[in-house]
Amino acid sequence: MLGEGQDENASWGRGEDYYEYFIVDNDKEKLEYYEALGVILEYNGRKCVANPLVPDKCIAYTKRYEEDRFRFKPPAASPDFYSRCIRCGLCYFQCHYMGYNAIRLASLRDGLKAFGTPIIDDHIRHPCTLCMECTRVCPTGALERVLEEAKERARKKERKQGKETFDRTIIANYPDLVKKTRMGVALIDPDLCWAWNSGDCKSCAKACPFGAEVFDFLFTPWGVHTRVKAVVRDDGTIETKCVGCGLCVAACPVVGSAIHVLPEEEFVRRYRNFKNTGMSYEEYLKKILDVEDHDPFKAVLRAMEINNVFLLDIRGIKKEKIKTELAAERSLGESKTT
């Protein structure tokens, strides 16, 4: 239960402990196999598989979304959201009327401060689609009408060309409106991501309303690695066009999702010391790329012998999501050639 005065984006998970280890002491076959490879460590009296990138630490994976879950205000929440919101529920009813069901109204379990206000907290089943209908019906400005503002700016710019833009993606053209819209920022766990472990998947990038504005693709002999374009500055500010809608979370084929949306402060914390390795997120990704370029044995060990085993045997992959994505990709390619 979240009490009054707690962070409105407080985690539903276990705070600092946002990852799980590859424990093998209950599986004799796996234990013997990884002992033969020399990658077994002791952790709290348990035997875990070591991280090939950081051999003195157990490999850690971001917990399932249900155990690493945060709550967010709807998009474009004003700085004085709690004083402006009159708890009328219009945003909630509009979201459900549209069939998205992303918004729920906070209960007393969410704390007195949040009670009755709109919350988005289930990106797996009901991510925000950025339709921005909630901002349109808000009577007090607790949710600011950033899409209308973006449209007006676009009209002024494009009126001379005789065209108007009404798509939600125009928000990405205006950094100040992106910042206003932002609910959180997405972070991909490269040890869980199918695309970072020799798989073929771009589900997250394809689901994103802003597409390549948010996601970057690293083309390597090991496949196409996907990452969110986000940089944490020295002052703790985040430079990204990700607004934390969660559509990528829902699209991820990994059970429990390899990509989670985090509040900005939590994103900064994890980014600066990723999985308590002492490396920043960018340094961790560069370490993977360096291993893939210069140490094929370690790269195979990491991706195929450890991460893929964890993904397939323990966490699980919803292969139908990948098949659907690849089928759509092939269909698009065929239509372009005809």
User: pTM here?
Assistant: 0.88
Assign 318 a pLDDT band (cuts: 50, 70, 90).
confident
* Cβ count near 194 (within 10 Å): 24
Task: Answer whether residue 334 shows pLDDT above 60.
Answer: no
Task: List, for residues 188-228, the tens digit of each pLDDT value.
Answer: 999 999 999 988 888 999 999 999 999 999 888 888 899 99
* Cβ count near 261 (within 10 Å): 28
Assign 31 a pLDDT band (cuts: 50, 70, 90).
very high
Assign 156 a pLDDT band (cuts: 50, 70, 90).
confident
Using only the alpha carbons of the chain, give its radius of gyration. Answer: 21
d(CA 117, CA 126): 17
Task: Answer whether residue 301 shows pLDDT above 70.
Answer: yes
Instruction: Decide which of 295 and 153 is more confident.
Output: 295
d(CA 128, CA 120): 8
Torsion over CA: 307, 121, 175, 79 (sign): negative
pLDDT at residue 159, as a whole number: 58
Task: Answer whether residue 338 shows pLDDT above 80.
Answer: no
pLDDT at residue 16, as a whole number: 52
pLDDT at residue 312, as a whole number: 92
Q: Using a pLDDT cut of 70, give the percent of the chain over it.
A: 87
Average pLDDT of the residues in 140-148:
96
Mean predicted lDDT score pLDDT of the chain = 88
pLDDT at residue 163, as a whole number: 54
State the residue for tokens 């098949």: 323
SS3 content of the chain, % helix, strand, coil (to 5): 40, 20, 40
pLDDT at residue 35, as a whole number: 95
User: Tokens representing 58?
Assistant: 């157990």
Task: List, for residues 229-266, the tens digit of each pLDDT value.
Answer: 999 999 999 999 999 999 999 999 999 999 999 999 99
Task: List, for residues 69-104, the tens digit of each pLDDT value.
Answer: 899 999 999 999 999 999 999 999 999 999 999 999
The residues, ordered by sequence, that sit 6+ positions from 237 with a Cβ below 8 Å of its Cβ are: none
End-to-end CA distance of the chain: 57
Task: Answer whether residue 37 shows pLDDT above 70.
Answer: yes
pLDDT at residue 165, as a whole number: 53
pLDDT at residue 2, as a whole number: 34
Average pLDDT of the residues in 100-129:
96
Assign 13 a pLDDT band (cuts: 50, 70, 90).
very low
Q: Are 71 and 11 in contact (CB under 8 A)?
A: no
